[in-house]
A and B are shown apart, each in its own frame.
Chain A
Amino acid sequence: MDRHLVQRLGFALLSLVALVVVAPILLVVGAVVVRGSGAINWEFLTAMPRDGMKAGGILPALVGTVILTLGTALAAIPVGVGGAIYLSEYARDTWLTRAIRLAIINLAGIPSVVYGLFGLGLFVLFLQFGTSILAGSLTLAIMTLPVIISASEEALRAVPTEFRTVSASLGGTRWQGIRHIVLPQALPGIITGVILGLLRAAGETAPILFTVAAFYLPRLPRSPFDQTMALPYHLYVTSTQVPGMPMKIQYGTALVLLALVLSMNVVATIIRSYYRKRRQW
């Protein structure tokens, strides 16, 4: 067969595969936007739900998700970035650090509902935080840690060793080299990893199911020990648990959640490309 024809056939096939990958994403986003945008108005975003969630807005769920994400960030960033610094800069290659790395990789593969159950056992019951924002944030944080640690460690390792050597040769301690040279260089990669981890946390339902999420709580949370509604759980509830729910509320909720997550994604992309241009190696 003519080899140009073969090549064209190959390209056509690959384009088709690429289309198959992209199409579902476009379809999902398209369907949510088309069916949900009708529900979006000022009241929907700023009012409490009414009539058993069949009317009114989604404010407590929106606020709840934002607070849970912030709480997750507060708990996961110091531990995750600190752990990555330890693994990349201080830990020697021993059986222990190899076991830690293996554990991190495996943690990333654990189903999220298992994290939920773990959070229920540890935070809600054993530590007696109750079903609360605190317990939910910590559960989400644990689920997010593997992503943050892996991404941060990779970003730190990508900074050439020579920078550390130069810093040491100028009388810098190991920590000073990390603090002043390595960390600033690795920051864009770390931020990207953190945001990707957090937006996964923002969209999860299972980990908050037993640890924080309220079915119907038309007020804003007042303390870390309050329960709260959250967008992913609200979506689940309105879609499956309440008969006669207007469809536009479900799709409106989905659209708000999607917009929240996608905008975080866009921010991560912008940060990454901005710093990549300024990087000198």
Chain B
Amino acid sequence: MSLPEEPKIRIQNVSYSYGGQPALSSVTLDVPANAISVFFGPAGGGKTTLLRLINRLNDLVEGTQMAGSILLDGQDLYAPEVNVTELRRRVGMVFALPLPLPGTVRENVLYGPQLAGVGDRTIQDEILMRSLTQAALWDEVKDRLDDPAVALSGGQQQRLCIARSLALEPQVLLLDEPTSGLDPISTAKVENSLFQLKENYTIIIVPHSVQQAARVADYAAFFLMGELIEHRPGNEIFVTPHHQRTEDYVTGRFG
């Protein structure tokens, strides 16, 4: 594996189960900074579970068990002294279906910053413009900031959700099938904004297709039934997979 020296996130021996049902079995994986990493594989492989472990959203689920550790910049995310709320501001998440919060475009973007205590109107306006621009949405909504967020199209709503996460200036952005409900044009817009964002952010995405995985991946990890099969730079794994099962999946023999 040709990874940079200091990985942003180190996933070490992570096993996880929901009510006795194993979802991940001893996954070890380094996620490099300022690159797009892709977790891909057939449904039920544990990609989304691993994603939700990185910002501890699975804390909200009852009856689960976890072993192993996840380090962000060398710090164990599951150490008792970790402030989970603070962690989630550093590790943003975008979900499969766009779910605008009740309220306007502006309120959606500023929800996180306001909870974090940003009250100054000038700073708020800066955040609003920066994050909507980063999510490639500013030009389309700059005159509709006070419209209800649900009035936007599906593609716009999903970019709004990305902007909403970016408003907190996270270091890591997790995206769980962010384009699964979008048309090709909106998908291209979202993917293009990811290419620009990786300059400053560490991005992990669960793609909704192998094609998308191949398009966006700097690094790709193939998951099958809770196991990490293969993790290599994207331009290698899709061209010359090392494992038979990866090849079978990439070439569409199963999925």
* A interface residues with partner B (beta carbon < 8 Å): 92-93, 162-173, 176, 180-181, 184-185, 280
Q: How far is the CA of A180 from the CA of B168 in the complex (A)?
A: 18
Q: State how many angstroms separate the Cβ of A202 from the closest Cβ of chain B.
A: 32
Known: A170-B115, A172-B85, A172-B115. A163 touches B101 (CB 8 A): yes
Give B83-125 as 1s and 0s: 1 = Cβ < 8 Å from A's Cβ atoms.
0011011001101010111100000000110011000000000
Which residues of B in the span 47-63 have a Cβ within 8 Å of any Cβ on A? 55, 57, 60, 62
Residues of B within 8 A of A166 (CB): 95, 99, 101
Q: In the complex, are the beta carbons of A92 and B62 less than 8 A apart?
A: yes
A-B contact pairs, 6 of them (CB 8 A): A170-B88, A170-B89, A170-B92, A170-B111, A172-B111, A173-B115
List 19 additional A-B contacts (Cβ < 8 Å) besides A93-B62, A166-B101, A169-B93. Answer: A162-B95, A162-B97, A164-B60, A166-B99, A167-B111, A169-B92, A170-B89, A170-B92, A170-B111, A171-B86, A171-B88, A171-B112, A171-B115, A171-B168, A176-B115, A180-B111, A280-B100, A280-B148, A280-B150
CB-contact partner of B165 in A164, A170, A172, A181, under 8 A = A170
Q: Is B164 an interface residue (CB 8 A)?
A: yes
Among residues of A, the one whose C-beta sits closest to the C-beta of B62 is A92
The tally of CB-CB contacts under 8 A between chains A and B is: 60
Q: State the Cβ distance, B132 to closest chain A Cβ, in Å.
A: 15
- Secondary structure type dominating chain A contacts: helix
Residue on B nearest A279 in the bound complex, by CB: B102
Cβ of B167 to closest chain A Cβ, rounded Å: 8
Q: Which residue of B lies closest to A280 (CB)?
A: B150
Chain B hits for A171, CB < 8 A: 85-86, 88-89, 112, 115-116, 168
Specify which of A162, A163, A164, A180 lies most central, judged by the most chain B CB atoms within 10 Å of its CB.
Answer: A180
- Which residues of chain B come closer than 8 Å to A169, judged between CB atoms? 55, 57, 88, 92-93, 95, 165
